């Protein structure tokens, strides 16, 4: 067939656009969960329970004891760009909370069945609401879509069922539920180490034993012990690093020269968001290459706080990439401080037996 005329251009249906956008933010169950964890932490929760079925594809449920959501806000909760955390573009430079775009719940509602049960301090009852494609929907056809009063404790429970039910190509791309569950455990574990004063638990639905459980009062080293191992926790050194000129403050725990494994574990938080950075990872491995046997790698937990005005968080909706000013100088300074600490421990080991 010879095409003689151009095809006409048509606008995509908004629901299609939203589904595409949702799939860009949420590629796997773990991405939905990360957003939900950050929302719970933002809500001031001190307890966070995660329940998972079939690697999160069948069920992802997170229950927190945070400030809850006002009943009046439930109708717009899952619309795109509705947020309680950001009002003007300028706020992006001073935002202290994790979320800032109001896209997470909206996205989830386009590609899964979403139920929210929430109770604020001032309300006598909890309210339960169901969502589809950004809007409130009835629990059963024919009923009212209004949130229903129900019994419940203060806080919020978010239930995500049948993720990607309407994106069959994505759904088929998942090979194993246990692979997805391991990614979920990895993220829950990272936040459980980082979030001081917050108790975390994570388990498979229907099982009584938890895979991850930390108490709110546990120290950072105890959290690392519970989630990673005593082998790691017994060999940790605390470090700090800061520089006013570059507007940053870093602190963390890193293993000494007694500990080494085949692969580096880097728990990296920038302004309290779990992120990855190849540059930081490489720089850390470089320091350790002089302290560890060939092929040996460390465990390191690094929390880096950078003046918000120096961080460009607006890179991509997934927000997994974070750019900041003077990246090279900051990395060099932090690594220098870690190296000094390591060298100090390495020499003092010769004279002291460790307790």
- Binding site residues, ligand ADP, CB under 6 A: 35, 39-40, 43, 64, 66-69, 77, 83-85, 99-106, 156
**Residue 131 or 288 with smaller CB distance to ligand ADP:** 131
Taking CB under 5 A as the rule, does residue 45 contact Mg ion?
Answer: no
Name the segment binding Mg ion (CB under 5 A); options: 96-104, 178-186, 216-224, 316-324.
96-104
Name the segment binding Mg ion (CB under 5 A); options: 35-43, 142-150, 286-294, 297-305.
35-43
Among 330, 181, 195, 200, which residue's Cα sits nearest to residue 274? Answer: 195
Determine which helix (DSSP H) or strand (DSSP E) holds 34, and give its type and residue range.
helix 29-42
**Binding at 49: pick from ligand ADP, Mg ion, none (beta carbon under 5-8 Å per type):** none
Taking CB under 5 A as the rule, does residue 104 contact Mg ion?
Answer: yes
Q: Please, what is the minimum distance in Å from the beta carbon of residue 38 to ligand ADP?
A: 7
**Residue 114 or 304 with smaller CB distance to ligand ADP:** 114
Q: Please, what is the minimum distance in Å from the beta carbon of residue 41 to ligand ADP?
A: 9
**Residue 120 or 210 with smaller CB distance to ligand ADP:** 120
The span from the CA of 110 to the CA of 266, in Å, is 33
22, 28, 29, 39: residue in contact with Mg ion (rule CB under 5 A): 39
Q: How far apart are the first and last CA of the chain?
A: 81
Q: Cα-Cα-Cα-Cα dihedral of 73, 77, 83, 87, to 10°?
A: -50
Q: Please, what is the minimum distance in Å from the beta carbon of residue 100 to Mg ion?
A: 8
The span from the CA of 48 to the CA of 46, in Å, is 7
Name the segment binding Mg ion (CB under 5 A); options: 104-112, 121-129, 268-276, 292-300.
104-112
Q: Please, what is the minimum distance in Å from the beta carbon of residue 340 to ligand ADP?
A: 39
Count of positions on this chain that bind Mg ion (CB under 5 A): 3
| Residue 98 burial (CB count, 10 A) | 20
Among 53, 58, 66, which residue's Cα sits nearest to residue 98? Answer: 66
CA angle 227-230-235, nearest 5°? 115
Instruction: Please write down the long-range contacts of 201-207, taking CB distance under 8 Å and 24 or more positions apart.
Output: 201/48, 201/49, 201/50, 202/49, 202/50, 202/51, 202/52, 203/50, 203/51, 203/52, 204/51, 204/52, 204/53, 205/51, 205/52, 205/53, 205/58, 205/59, 205/61, 206/53
Find the residue with minimal CB distance to ligand ADP. Answer: 99
**Residue 28 or 37 with smaller CB distance to Mg ion:** 37
**Residue 20 or 76 with smaller CB distance to ligand ADP:** 76
Q: Please, what is the minimum distance in Å from the beta carbon of residue 123 to ligand ADP?
A: 13
**Residue 130 or 225 with smaller CB distance to ligand ADP:** 130
**Residue 225 or 319 with smaller CB distance to Mg ion:** 319
Q: Please, what is the minimum distance in Å from the beta carbon of residue 304 to ligand ADP?
A: 21
Q: How many CA atoms lie within 13 A of 21 on its CB side?
A: 23
Footprint on this chain of Mg ion (rule: CB under 5 A)? 39, 99, 104
């Amino acid at each position: 067939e010879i095409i003689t005329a151009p095809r006409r251009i048509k606008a995509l249906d908004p629901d299609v656009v939203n589904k595409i956008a949702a799939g860009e933010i949420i590629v796997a169950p773990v991405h939905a969960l990360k957003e939900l964890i950050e929302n719970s932490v933002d809500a001031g929760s001190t307890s966070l329970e995660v329940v998972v079925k079939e690697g999160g594809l069948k069920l992802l449920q997170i229950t927190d004891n945070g400030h809850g959501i006002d009943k009046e806000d439930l109708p717009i909760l899952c619309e795109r760009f509705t947020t309680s955390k950001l009002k003007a573009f300028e706020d992006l430079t001073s935002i202290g909370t994790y979320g800032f775009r109001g896209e997470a719940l909206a996205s989830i509602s386009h590609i899964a069945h979403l139920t929210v049960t929430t109770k604020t301090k001032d309300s006598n009852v909890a309210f339960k609401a169901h969502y589809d494609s950004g809007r409130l929907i009835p629990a059963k056809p024919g009923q009212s879509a209004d949130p229903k009063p129900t019994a419940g404790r203060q806080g919020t429970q978010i239930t995500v069922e049948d993720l990607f039910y309407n994106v069959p190509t994505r759904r088929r791309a998942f090979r194993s539920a246990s692979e997805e569950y391991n990614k979920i455990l990895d993220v829950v574990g990272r936040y459980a180490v980082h979030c001081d004063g917050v108790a975390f638990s994570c388990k498979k639905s229907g099982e009584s034993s938890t895979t991850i459980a930390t108490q709110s009062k546990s120290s950072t080293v105890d959290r690392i012990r519970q989630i990673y191992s005593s082998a790691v926790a017994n060999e940790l050194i605390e470090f700090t690093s800061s520089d006013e000129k570059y507007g940053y403050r870093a602190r963390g725990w890193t293993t000494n020269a007694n500990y080494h494994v085949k692969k580096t574990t880097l728990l990296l938080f920038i302004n309290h968001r779990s992120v990855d950075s190849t540059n930081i990872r490489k720089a850390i491995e470089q320091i350790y290459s002089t302290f560890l046997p060939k092929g040996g790698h460390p465990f390191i937990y690094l929390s880096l706080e950078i003046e918000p005005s120096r961080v460009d968080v607006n890179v991509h909706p997934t927000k997994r990439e974070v750019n900041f000013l003077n990246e090279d100088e900051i990395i060099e300074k932090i690594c220098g401080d870690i190296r000094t600490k390591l060298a100090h421990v390495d020499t003092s080991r010769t004279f002291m037996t460790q307790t």
